[in-house]
Amino acid sequence: MLLATLAMFAVQAFAFVDAVSHKPEAYVAADKLTKPAWLIILGIALAAHMLIWSPMSFLNLIGTVAAIVYIVDARPALRALTRR
């Protein structure tokens, strides 16, 4: 269970840090949610995971899904525009 919790936390933290690193204009150009929207979603997910350290918590599962959606959908579009 600890390994699952750490893996979920790592995915959420990676998504949040990556979302912070892109310019707000890139989100609009990529036709994705705005940067503040992604930061709110991922920030709440990360904060909830820090407060509720159980991997099977409903909030942690939703937060991990949101982070995965960011990683597989928004991140490639942002990287294609910024060439990082």
Average pLDDT over residues 16-28: 97
Residue 84: predicted pLDDT: 55
Residue 46: predicted pLDDT: 96
> What's the chain's average pLDDT?
94
The pTM score is: 0.92
Q: How many folded domains does the chain comprise? A: 1
Print the domain residue range for 60: 2-82
Residue 33: predicted pLDDT: 97
Give the burial string for 1-40 (b: 16+ CB within 10 Å, else e).
eeeebeebbebbbebbebbeebeeebbeebebbebeebee
pLDDT, tens only, 43-65: 999 999 999 988 788 999 999 99
